[in-house]
Structure 1
Amino acid sequence: MKKSVILIAMNLLMCLNMSAQNTFNVSGNIIEKETGEAVISATIQLLALPDSSFIEGTVTGTQGDFLFKSVKKGKYAVKISYIGFTTRYVDVDLNTQKSRNANIGYITMSPDAILLKATEVTAHASKVSVSGDSLIYNAAAYRVPEGSTLEALVKQLPGAKVDSEGNITINGKTVSKILVDGKEFFLNDKSVAMKNIPTEMIEKLKTYDRKSDLSRVTGIDDGEDETVLDLTVKKGMKNGWFGNVNLGIGTKDRYSERFNVNRFNDDFQATLLGGANNVADQGFGGGGGRWGGWGGGLRTSKEIGANFATDKPKLESGGSIRYRYDGNDNENTSSTESFNATKGKFGESFNKNLSSNNRVNSNFRLEWKPDTMTNIIFRPNFTYSRNRGMSNSLSGSYDDDPNLYTNYALGYNDQIAMVSNGGTLDPANTVLNNLMNIVTNTNTNYGQSYSTNTNFNGNLQFNRKFNNQGRNLTLRINGGFNEGRNKQISAANITYNTLGTTQQNNRYYYTPSNSHNISAQITYSEPIADRTYLQFSYQYQYSYSKNDRRAQVYDSQAYQNLAQSLTNNRYNINAVLKFMEDTGYLLRDTTALSQFSEYRNYNQTINLSFRKVRESYNFSVGIDLLPQRSTLNYKYMGHEYPEVTRNVFNFAPRVNLRWNFDKQTNLNIRYNGRTSQPSMTNLLDIKDDSNPLYITKGNPSLKPSFSHNINANFNTYNADAQRGIYSWLWFNTTRNSIDNKTTYDANGVRTTMPMNINGNWNGGGGFGYNTGLGKEKAFNLDVDLGGSYSHNVGFYNNAQSDNDNTDIKSITKTITLNPELELSYRTENINIALNGRLDYRNSKNNMNSMTNQNTYDFSYGAEFEWTTPWGSAINTDIGMNSRRGYAQREMNTNELLWNAQLSHSFLQGKALTVMLEVNDILGQQTNISRNITALMRSDSRYNAIYQYGMLRVVYKFSIFGGKNAMGTDNERSANYGGRGGWGGGWR
Structure 2
Amino acid sequence: MKKIMTGMALLLLTTLSVFSQTQKITVKGRVLEDTKEPAIQATVQLLSLPDSVQASGVATSSMGFFSLPPVKPGKYVLKVSYIGFKTLWQPMQLSGSTPQKNVGVLTLETDAIMLAEAVITAEAPQVQVVEDTLVYNSSAYRTPEGAMLEELVKKLPGAEVDDEGNVKINGRDLSKIMVNGKEFFGGDVKTGLKNLPVDMIEKLKTYDKKSDLARITGIDDGEEETVLDLSVKKGMNQGWFGNADVAGGTEDRYMGRLMLNGFMDDTRVSLIASANNVNDQGFSGGGGGPRWRRNNGLNASKVIGLDFATQTSKIELGGSARYNYRDADIMSIGSTEDFLPDGNSYSNSNSKQRNRNNSFNADFRLEWKPDSMTNIIFRPDVSYGKTDNLSNSESGTFSSDPYSLVTDPNNWLTLEKILNPDDDPLRNIRVNAINSGSLSDNKSLSTNATLQLNRKLNNKGRNITFRGRFGYTNNDNNQYTESETHYFQLMNYLGGDSVLIRNQYITTPTKNYNYSAQLTYSEPIARATFLQFSYQFQYKYSESDKTTYDLQGFPDWGLSTQLPAGYEEHAVDSLGKYAEYRYYNHDASVSLRFIREKYQLSAGMSFQPQHSVLSYKRGDYMIDTTRNVFNFAPNLDLRVRFSKVSQLRLTYRGRSSQPSMENLLPIVDNSNPQNIRVGNPGLKPAFTHNMRLFYNTYNAEKQRGVMSHFNFSATQNSISNSRVYNSETGGWTTTPKNINGNWNAFGMLGFNTALKNKKYTINSFSNASYQNNVAYLTDSKTKMENKNTTTNLTLVERLNTSYRNDWFEFGLNGTISYSIEKDKLTPDNNQEPYTFSYGANTTVNMPWSMSVSTNIANQSRRGYTDSSMNRNELIWNAQISQTFLKGAATVSFEMYDILKRQSNISRSLTASGRSVYEYNGVNSYCMLHFIYRLNIFGGKAARDKMQNKRGFGGPGFGPGHRPGGFGGGRRF
1:946 is aligned to 923
2:535 is aligned to 538
- C-alpha distance 176-721 of structure 1, shift in aligned 2 (>3 A): farther
1:443 aligns with 2:434: yes
CA distance in 1, matches of 2:414, 2:159: 50
What is the identity, as a one-letter code, of the residue corresponding to 1:744?
Y
Retained in 1: the 8 A contact 2:333–2:351? yes
Instruction: Return the offset for 1:447.
Output: 0.7
CA distance in 1, matches of 2:221, 2:574: 52
SS at 2:192 equivalent: helix
Matches within 5 A, 1:563-602: 565-566=558-559, 569=560, 576-578=561-563, 580-581=564-565, 588-602=570-584
SS at 2:369 equivalent: strand
Q: Percent identity?
A: 45
CA distance in 2, matches of 1:793, 1:251: 48
Retained in 1: the 8 A contact 2:750–2:765? yes
1:866 aligns with 2:839: no
SS at 2:894 equivalent: strand
- C-alpha distance 463-787 of structure 1, shift in aligned 2 (>3 A): same
Retained in 1: the 8 A contact 2:506–2:546? yes
1:927 aligns with 2:904: yes
2:773 is aligned to 792
CA distance in 2, matches of 1:232, 1:709: 33
What is the identity, as a one-letter code, of the residue corresponding to 2:337?
E
CA distance in 2, matches of 1:412, 1:205: 51
Retained in 2: the 8 A contact 1:338–1:935? yes
Retained in 2: the 8 A contact 1:148–1:288? no
Retained in 2: the 8 A contact 1:393–1:446? yes
CA distance in 2, matches of 1:134, 1:746: 56
What is the identity, as a one-letter code, of the residue corresponding to 1:787?
A
SS at 1:194 equivalent: helix
1:520 aligns with 2:517: yes
1:936 aligns with 2:935: no
1:107 is aligned to none
What is the identity, as a one-letter code, of the residue corresponding to 2:755?
L
Q: 2:642 aligns with which of 641, 661, 674?
A: 661
Q: 1:758 aligns with which of 735, 740, 755?
A: 740
1:479 aligns with 2:457: no
Retained in 2: the 8 A contact 1:344–1:397? no
- C-alpha distance 474-944 of structure 1, shift in aligned 2 (>3 A): same
CA RMSD of aligned residues (A): 2.9
CA distance in 1, matches of 2:823, 2:784: 19
1:902 aligns with 2:880: yes
CA distance in 1, matches of 2:668, 2:368: 54
CA distance in 1, matches of 2:633, 2:596: 25
Instruction: Return the offset for 1:826.
Output: 2.4
What is the identity, as a one-letter code, of the residue corresponding to 1:472?
N
2:703 is aligned to 722
Retained in 1: the 8 A contact 2:504–2:551? yes
Matches within 5 A, 1:400-411: 400-406=400-406, 407-409=408-410, 411=412
- C-alpha distance 795-220 of structure 1, shift in aligned 2 (>3 A): closer
- C-alpha distance 312-882 of structure 1, shift in aligned 2 (>3 A): same
- C-alpha distance 829-613 of structure 1, shift in aligned 2 (>3 A): same
Instruction: Return the offset for 1:667.
Output: 1.1
CA distance in 2, matches of 1:320, 1:243: 18
1:912 is aligned to 889
1:769 is aligned to 751
2:947 is aligned to none
CA distance in 1, matches of 2:500, 2:222: 59
Task: Give CA-to-partner distance per residue, 1:115-135, whole Å, 9 cap, x none.
Answer: x9xxx9876456666667655
- C-alpha distance 154-929 of structure 1, shift in aligned 2 (>3 A): closer
1:887 is aligned to 865
1:960 is aligned to 937
1:70 is aligned to none
What is the identity, as a one-letter code, of the residue corresponding to 1:896?
L
Task: Give CA-to-partner distance per residue, 1:608-646, whole Å, 9 cap, x none.
Answer: 11111112111111111110111001111x124221111
Instruction: Return the offset for 1:945.
Output: 2.6
Retained in 1: the 8 A contact 2:157–2:764? no
Retained in 1: the 8 A contact 2:482–2:503? yes
What is the identity, as a one-letter code, of the residue corresponding to 1:244?
N
SS at 2:680 equivalent: coil
Deviates more, 1:334-343 or 1:852-861: 334-343
Retained in 1: the 8 A contact 2:289–2:855? no
- C-alpha distance 151-888 of structure 1, shift in aligned 2 (>3 A): closer
2:317 is aligned to 317
Query: Normalization by structure 1: what TM-score?
Result: 0.80
- C-alpha distance 753-590 of structure 1, shift in aligned 2 (>3 A): same
Instruction: Return the offset for 1:772.
Output: 1.0
Query: Normalization by structure 2: what TM-score?
Result: 0.81
- C-alpha distance 585-960 of structure 1, shift in aligned 2 (>3 A): same
Task: Give CA-to-partner distance per residue, 1:548-569, whole Å, 9 cap, x none.
Answer: 01110112673xx54xx42xx4
Instruction: Return the offset for 1:816.
Output: 0.8
- C-alpha distance 331-673 of structure 1, shift in aligned 2 (>3 A): same
1:454 aligns with 2:432: no
Retained in 2: the 8 A contact 1:356–1:389? yes
What is the identity, as a one-letter code, of the residue corresponding to 1:950?
M
Deviates more, 1:349-358 or 1:406-415: 406-415
Give structure 2 stretches of 5+ with no counterpart.
Answer: 1-33, 35-82, 87-107, 491-496, 945-972
1:377 is aligned to 377
Instruction: Return the offset for 1:259.
Output: 0.4
- C-alpha distance 366-163 of structure 1, shift in aligned 2 (>3 A): same
2:484 is aligned to 493
CA distance in 1, matches of 2:928, 2:631: 59
1:814 is aligned to 792
SS at 1:217 equivalent: helix
Matches within 5 A, 1:564-643: 565-566=558-559, 569=560, 576-578=561-563, 580-581=564-565, 588-636=570-618, 638-643=619-624
Larger Rg: 1
Deviates more, 1:131-140 or 1:616-625: 131-140
CA distance in 2, matches of 1:220, 1:286: 43
CA distance in 2, matches of 1:347, 1:221: 48
Give structure 1 stretches of 5+ with no counterpart.
Answer: 1-28, 30-37, 42-60, 66-81, 86-110, 420-424, 570-575, 968-987
Retained in 1: the 8 A contact 2:724–2:780? yes
CA distance in 2, matches of 1:131, 1:810: 46
Retained in 1: the 8 A contact 2:395–2:413? no
- C-alpha distance 40-188 of structure 1, shift in aligned 2 (>3 A): closer
- C-alpha distance 703-206 of structure 1, shift in aligned 2 (>3 A): closer
What is the identity, as a one-letter code, of the residue corresponding to 1:480?
G
2:629 is aligned to 648
Retained in 2: the 8 A contact 1:276–1:284? no
Instruction: Return the offset for 1:416.
Output: 6.8
Retained in 2: the 8 A contact 1:745–1:798? no
CA distance in 1, matches of 2:289, 2:477: 35
CA distance in 2, matches of 1:665, 1:928: 41
CA distance in 1, matches of 2:255, 2:341: 50
Retained in 1: the 8 A contact 2:341–2:778? no
CA distance in 1, matches of 2:783, 2:854: 60
- C-alpha distance 926-733 of structure 1, shift in aligned 2 (>3 A): same
Matches within 5 A, 1:185-204: 185-204=184-203
- C-alpha distance 750-224 of structure 1, shift in aligned 2 (>3 A): closer
1:743 is aligned to 724
What is the identity, as a one-letter code, of the residue corresponding to 1:667?
L
Instruction: Return the offset for 1:408.
Output: 3.5
Task: Give CA-to-partner distance per residue, 1:271-308, whole Å, 9 cap, x none.
Answer: 00010111112587668899626332111111011100
